[in-house]
Structure 1
Amino acid sequence: MSALRVVPANRHGRERLYVCRPDGSNVAWYDRETGRVNLLGEDSRDAVLQALKPFLTGPVTVGPPPVPTPAELARLTLHPDDDLAPNRPGEALLVALDRDPAHRLRPDPRRRALTAEETVGTALDGLEGAGWHTLHSIALPGGDRIHHLLLGPGGLFAVHALYARKARVRVADPMVTVGRREPEPLLRRLRAAADRASYALTAEVHPLLALAGPADLTITVQPRTVRILQDTELPGLGRLGGVLKPADVEALHAMARDRRTWGRV
């Protein structure tokens, strides 16, 4: 086999080098992240390795492509309209504000809520490289919504983002008071959302309240089952572990990203 070409590409955030015949058909690809050369035919092994030789760094594994896991198969068969993974932080608010141009002409509390979801969502997305996944803006039947669902080695968390910029926050379970606003039973609603997520995923989901930019936080009594963190503390969740194995995280992520999973809660 001669005249093989090496073509770089980026698929699903992974850098790969494809080895192609002159007609453009693939015979193999090299995944830099895993250090693996995936051969589509054993008879091309020597020619492929010769073509890739200038690009290989360190030891590599050579063999046929690995068999897709059940989670990978679920992702591959999921219709794009049902895939929640592309949702941006605050997706539902972004869509609602885009459909209501008048919000630019008047104060709109949705803009503050959007700022909170974007701030918290960005912090959670930063955990991606540590084996975590985050899904944003999951709609539930009845009009409720989970702002962020965090899945990783330390378990599952239903995260509610609350705008509290430069405000004092007081928590007296189940009431949460931000600045001079009226107290609201936010922790009760957060527990209910986490319970619905647990039912949908058949796995324990913990409620988490994430405060975006508070000036001060007072907790009179540590709330039952609810974790409360400021947005600057969210990266510390990446140190949690020992609850879920990587395969379990991927399987739960595949289930959670399917919009149809949430239609029965």
Structure 2
Amino acid sequence: MRGLKVLPSGRPGRGRLYVSLPDGRTVAWYDRRTRRISILSDDGREAVLAALRPYLSGDWTIGPPPVPTPAELRRLYLPPDHDLAPNLPGETLLGELAYGTPGVGRTRHRMRRQLLALQRTGVELDLLEADDWRAVHDVPLPGLGLLDHLLIGPPGVFALRTVPGRRRRAQVGDLLLTVGRSAPSPDPRWIRRAAARAARALASPVTPALTLADSSRVEVAPTLRDVLVLQPPTLAVTLRAIPPTLKPPDVEALFTLARSRTTWTPEP
């Protein structure tokens, strides 16, 4: 084989490297997470290794593609417009700011502030990806709106609602959340309902969580035990410290289910 090209997919430094012929046909790929080279034909083994050699490090394996799991098969047959996995944190809000009906200045300021908080939380969630965590953003929950983030990892499934802290003191109670001198909001009650809806859809326990982005101080009522309260500077550390309950195949199966729009909004 001559003229092989190596093309990346996914985020920089992650995902797969695909080895393709000049006409675009894929002959092999290298999964950087598992360090495995999947090759479609042994005839081009040496050429594929030569093309990938600059990208290989540590111990790696090579062989035919593994038999796809049921979760992988469901993902392969998922139509692109039903796939929520490509959603970025705050993508819907970003679209409204860019292409929606212009609002008054104060409304747009609140929207931008919320978008920055969502993106800040998204950066923290990205740090968990290397540890077999998966996240889906802007999950539609009919009757409730959008769930900011659904996080799936070894400790389980978490439904996250992000609230801008605005460099103010935040007080989280059983029923209400107050940031600075703003009027209290029912975020704790909302995230409980969202987590319960997600648990029914996924047939798996889901922990409700509130993320306070950029709060100067967070005070949590001692009676609040069923809602996890997180802050971006320590979000990843806090979640990693929770004891694991799911194995990697369970995480991938739940992620495959969660990324499908029909899981949340079944078609008639």
- TM-score, structure 1 as length reference: 0.86
Does the residue aligned with 1:255 lie in a helix, a strand or coil?
Answer: helix
**Amino acid in structure 2 at the alignment position of 1:10:** P
Match of 1:83 in 2: 83
Q: 1:261 aligns with which of 260, 263, 267?
A: 263
Match of 1:149 in 2: 150
Instruction: Report if the CA contact (8 A) 1:4-1:51 is conserved.
Output: no
Question: How many percent of aligned residue pairs carry the same amino acid?
Answer: 42
Q: What displacement does 1:142 show? A: 1.7
* Structure-2 separation of matches of 1:121 and 1:30: 26
| Aligned CA distance change for structure 1 residues 24 and 84 (closer, same or farther; 3 Å) | closer
**Amino acid in structure 2 at the alignment position of 1:9:** L
Q: How many residues align?
A: 257
| Aligned CA distance change for structure 1 residues 30 and 82 (closer, same or farther; 3 Å) | closer
| Aligned CA distance change for structure 1 residues 49 and 98 (closer, same or farther; 3 Å) | same
Q: Which has the larger radius of gyration?
A: 1
Match of 2:203 in 1: 202
Q: What displacement does 1:230 show? A: 1.3
| Aligned CA distance change for structure 1 residues 34 and 98 (closer, same or farther; 3 Å) | same
Q: What displacement does 1:183 show? A: 1.6
Q: What displacement does 1:57 show? A: 5.1
Q: What displacement does 1:217 show? A: 1.6
| Aligned CA distance change for structure 1 residues 165 and 30 (closer, same or farther; 3 Å) | closer
Match of 1:245 in 2: 247
Instruction: Report if the CA contact (8 A) 1:27-1:41 is conserved.
Output: yes
Q: What displacement does 1:184 show? A: 2.4
Does the residue aligned with 2:210 lie in a helix, a strand or coil?
Answer: strand
| 1:48 paired to 2:45 | yes
Q: What displacement does 1:24 show? A: 6.7
| Aligned CA distance change for structure 1 residues 230 and 24 (closer, same or farther; 3 Å) | closer
Match of 1:99 in 2: 99
Farther off after superposition, 215-224 or 192-201: 215-224
Q: What displacement does 1:191 show? A: 0.5
| Aligned CA distance change for structure 1 residues 7 and 169 (closer, same or farther; 3 Å) | same
**Amino acid in structure 1 at the alignment position of 2:232:** D
| Aligned CA distance change for structure 1 residues 78 and 167 (closer, same or farther; 3 Å) | same
> Deviations along 1:131-167, whole A, 9 cap, x unmatched?
1111111111125221100001111100010011211
* Structure-1 separation of matches of 2:106 and 2:45: 61
> Deviations along 1:106-150, whole A, 9 cap, x unmatched?
112222222221111221122111111111111111252211000
CA RMSD of aligned residues (A): 2.4
- TM-score, structure 2 as length reference: 0.85
Farther off after superposition, 164-173 or 198-207: 164-173
Instruction: Report if the CA contact (8 A) 1:29-1:38 is conserved.
Output: yes
User: Structure 2 regions of 5+ residues with no counterpart?
Assistant: none
* Structure-1 separation of matches of 2:219 and 2:58: 52
Does the residue aligned with 2:229 lie in a helix, a strand or coil?
Answer: strand
Q: What displacement does 1:27 show? A: 4.7
Instruction: Report if the CA contact (8 A) 2:19-2:48 is conserved.
Output: no
Farther off after superposition, 53-62 or 246-255: 53-62
User: Structure 1 regions of 5+ residues with no counterpart?
Assistant: none
* Structure-2 separation of matches of 1:250 and 1:186: 29
Instruction: Report if the CA contact (8 A) 2:166-2:215 is conserved.
Output: yes
